[in-house]
Amino acid sequence: MNIVACVKQVPDTEALIKVKPDGSGIEEGGIKWVMNPYDEFGVEEALKLKEKLGGEVTVVSVGPARTMETIRTALAMGAEKGIHIDDPALYNADAYTTANALAAAIKEIPYDIIFCGQRAIDGDMGQVGSILAELLDIPQCTIVTKLDVGDGKATAVKPIEGAQLVLETSLPCVITAQKGLNEPRYASLPGIMKAKKKPVDVKNAAALGISVEPKAKIEKMTPPPARPPGKIIEGEDPAAKAAEVIRLLREEAKVI
């Protein structure tokens, strides 16, 4: 089975994010970069599937040179090879342009199933997996928490409010992974040593023959406004204090 896992490198959830003074993006200095946690579920599911049905896992990522660390991490977890799409015009690309680059690279290799994270924790767009499926003209199951693959089809469970959908699709297809799908394994030391020797193809936009013209552009980034200070209601009488809380909720906060 030919399995593809798309991964993105994102700032660690603990990283202190600062917006650049000109609002064009975030300050990258001093940030620790990690594999997008939802992509980890995708990689893990890809590896489990390979272990069950045989085959190969290829990881694909779009990003600058440092993205190689994330590709190597997936290789250390057990993937066989990598494709690194590295082109300055694609750094911070919008969801469409990113999906388009991924689609172009994936089209060049055989694939039966493609895993993405259901969203990336940096931009929080949640679109790349879906656009990728559209561009490849294959079915998609999104936000998946359970997956079975066999007999040329995939059965996926997707939680919705108060229920869960059980979806069945033919292959090839795109699956976007949600927390709960599995417990991602840790990169082992032997895995890390082997990862170094696994092949990674580095390609730019020209090699893929794609347009890098964005469909959406980030005009400006601004940090959320600082939270106004809290208010302490003074007084001895609990009933009067409660009444004051209700008055403030009504008149100032306008929430009741």
Residues that bind another protein (CB under 8 A): 14, 27, 29-30, 32, 34, 68-69, 72-73, 76, 186-193, 195-196
Nearest-angstrom CA–CA distance, 112 and 174 = 9
Residue with tokens 């980890």: 40
Burial class (CB in 10 A: 0-12, 13-18, 19+), 88: exposed
CB of 217 to another protein, least distance (A): 26
CB of 32 to another protein, least distance (A): 7
Cβ closest to another protein, residue 171 vs residue 192: 192
CB of 230 to another protein, least distance (A): 14
Cβ closest to another protein, residue 64 vs residue 159: 64
The sign of the CA dihedral 62, 118, 45, 49 is negative
Cβ closest to another protein, residue 194 vs residue 250: 194
Cβ closest to another protein, residue 11 vs residue 139: 11
Nearest-angstrom CA–CA distance, 140 and 172 = 9
Nearest-angstrom CA–CA distance, 5 and 41 = 10
CB of 58 to another protein, least distance (A): 19
CB of 114 to another protein, least distance (A): 25
Query: By C-alpha distance, which of 122, 32, 35 is closest to 75?
Result: 35
Cβ closest to another protein, residue 134 vs residue 185: 185
Look up residue 88 and give its DSSP letter. G
Cβ closest to another protein, residue 36 vs residue 73: 73
Q: What share of the chain is helix, strand, coil (3-state, %, to 5)?
A: 30, 25, 45
Pure H helices in the chain = 37-53, 67-77, 95-107, 128-136, 189-195, 205-208, 238-251
CB of 183 to another protein, least distance (A): 10
